[in-house]
Structure 1
Amino acid sequence: MFGRLRAWKRRHSLLVDTLALTPLAMLGLLSTLSASSYADLSGRDRFGPVVLLLLSAMLVVPLIWRRKYPVVAFAIVALVCFVQWAVGIAVLPVNLAVLVAMYGVAARRPLKWAIAAAVVAEIGIFLSLVRTSADVLNNWPGPTVFVVAIWISGIYVNMRQRYVESLLERAERAERERDQQARIAAAAERTRIARELHDVVAHNVSVMVVQADGAGYAIDTDPEQARRAVQAVSSTGRQALAEMRRLVGVLRDDHASGGEYAPQPGLEQLADLIDQVRASGLPVDFTRSGPQPEVPDGEQLVIYRIIQEALTNTLKHGGPGVSASVQVEYGAHDVTLTVADDGRGASAARADDGHGLIGMRERVGMYGGTVHAAPRPGGGFRVTARLPIGQTA
Structure 2
Amino acid sequence: MTEAAAEPVSAHPVRYRDRVRQTGTAVRPTGCAALAPVRAARPGRAVRRRGLRLPPLVWDSLLPALLLLHITTMRAPRELPVLVALTAALALPLVWRRRAPLTVFGAVAAAASVQWLMDVQLPADIALLVALHTVAANSGRRGTLVAAAVVEAGALLAALRWAADGAFLTLFVALTAMVVAAAVLGVNARTTRAYLAAVEERAARLEQHQDQQARLAVAEERTRIAREMHDIVTHNLSVMVALTDAAVYAQHRSPDRATTAMLQISETGRQALTDMRRSLGILRADEPDVERHPMPGIAQLETLADQMCAAGLPTRLEVRGGHAHVPATAQLTVYRLVQEALTNTLKHTPTGTHAEVRVLCSAETVEVDVTDNGPFSPPPGATPSGHGIPGMRERSAAYGGKLRAGPLPGGGWGVHTRLILGGSGTAAT
TM-score by structure 1 length?
Answer: 0.51
Residue in 2 that maps onto 1:284: none
1:177-216 to structure 2, matched below 5 A, reads 177-216=209-248
Residues 4 and 62 of structure 1: CA distance in aligned 2, closer, same or farther (over 3 Å): farther
- Which piece of structure 1 moves more, 126-135 or 205-214? 126-135
Residue in 2 that maps onto 1:53: 84
1:182 CA drift (Å): 1.4
Residue in 1 that maps onto 2:128: 98
Residue in 2 that maps onto 1:28: 68
> C-alpha deviations, 1:334-369, integer Å up to 9, x for none?
x9xxxxxxxxxxxxxxxxxxxxxxxxxxxxxxxxxx
1:223 CA drift (Å): 9.4
Distance across 1 between alignment mates of 2:283 and 2:88: 73
- Any conservation in 2 of the 1:126–1:136 contact (CA below 8 Å)? no
1:198 CA drift (Å): 1.4
Distance across 2 between alignment mates of 1:81 and 1:89: 10
Residue in 2 that maps onto 1:172: 204
1:199 CA drift (Å): 0.5
The DSSP-based 3-state class of the residue aligned with 1:90 is coil
1:92 CA drift (Å): 0.9
* One of 173, 178, 187 as aligned partner of 1:146: 178
Distance across 1 between alignment mates of 2:63 and 2:194: 29
1:156-171 to structure 2, matched below 5 A, reads 156-171=188-203
Distance across 1 between alignment mates of 2:54 and 2:188: 25
Residues 116 and 35 of structure 1: CA distance in aligned 2, closer, same or farther (over 3 Å): same
Residue in 1 that maps onto 2:308: none
1:380-391 to structure 2, matched below 5 A, reads none
- Any conservation in 1 of the 2:64–2:94 contact (CA below 8 Å)? no
> C-alpha deviations, 1:255-286, integer Å up to 9, x for none?
xxxxxxxx77xxxxxxxxxxxxxxxxxxxxxx
The DSSP-based 3-state class of the residue aligned with 2:133 is helix
1:103 CA drift (Å): 0.7
Residue in 1 that maps onto 2:279: 301
The DSSP-based 3-state class of the residue aligned with 2:148 is helix
1:9 CA drift (Å): 7.6
Residue in 1 that maps onto 2:103: 72
Residue in 1 that maps onto 2:142: 112
Distance across 2 between alignment mates of 1:103 and 1:37: 33
Distance across 2 between alignment mates of 1:180 and 1:141: 58
- Any conservation in 2 of the 1:25–1:56 contact (CA below 8 Å)? no
1:194 CA drift (Å): 1.8
Distance across 2 between alignment mates of 1:110 and 1:82: 24
Residue in 2 that maps onto 1:125: 155
AA at the equivalent of 2:96:
W
- Any conservation in 2 of the 1:66–1:101 contact (CA below 8 Å)? yes
- Any conservation in 2 of the 1:214–1:229 contact (CA below 8 Å)? yes
1:102 CA drift (Å): 0.6
AA at the equivalent of 2:129:
L
* One of 48, 56, 59 as aligned partner of 1:14: 56
Unaligned runs of 5+ in 2: 1-41, 291-429
AA at the equivalent of 1:34:
M
CA RMSD of aligned residues (A): 4.4
The DSSP-based 3-state class of the residue aligned with 1:140 is helix
AA at the equivalent of 1:32:
T
- Any conservation in 2 of the 1:211–1:229 contact (CA below 8 Å)? yes
The DSSP-based 3-state class of the residue aligned with 1:63 is helix
Q: How many percent of aligned residue pairs carry the same amino acid?
A: 36
Residues 233 and 328 of structure 1: CA distance in aligned 2, closer, same or farther (over 3 Å): closer
User: Which one has a bigger Cα radius of gyration?
Assistant: 2
Residues 102 and 229 of structure 1: CA distance in aligned 2, closer, same or farther (over 3 Å): same
- Any conservation in 1 of the 2:138–2:190 contact (CA below 8 Å)? yes
1:302 CA drift (Å): 0.8
Unaligned runs of 5+ in 1: 39-47, 240-262, 265-294, 311-325, 330-334, 336-393
Residues 6 and 99 of structure 1: CA distance in aligned 2, closer, same or farther (over 3 Å): farther
AA at the equivalent of 2:177:
V
Distance across 2 between alignment mates of 1:5 and 1:205: 70
- Any conservation in 2 of the 1:103–1:150 contact (CA below 8 Å)? yes
Distance across 1 between alignment mates of 2:139 and 2:46: 27
- Any conservation in 2 of the 1:106–1:114 contact (CA below 8 Å)? yes
- Any conservation in 2 of the 1:70–1:105 contact (CA below 8 Å)? yes
- Any conservation in 2 of the 1:33–1:49 contact (CA below 8 Å)? no
* One of 94, 108, 112 as aligned partner of 1:81: 112
> How many pairs align?
247
AA at the equivalent of 1:30:
H
- Any conservation in 2 of the 1:58–1:77 contact (CA below 8 Å)? yes
TM-score by structure 2 length?
Answer: 0.47
AA at the equivalent of 1:72:
T
Distance across 2 between alignment mates of 1:298 and 1:168: 45
Distance across 2 between alignment mates of 1:105 and 1:157: 11
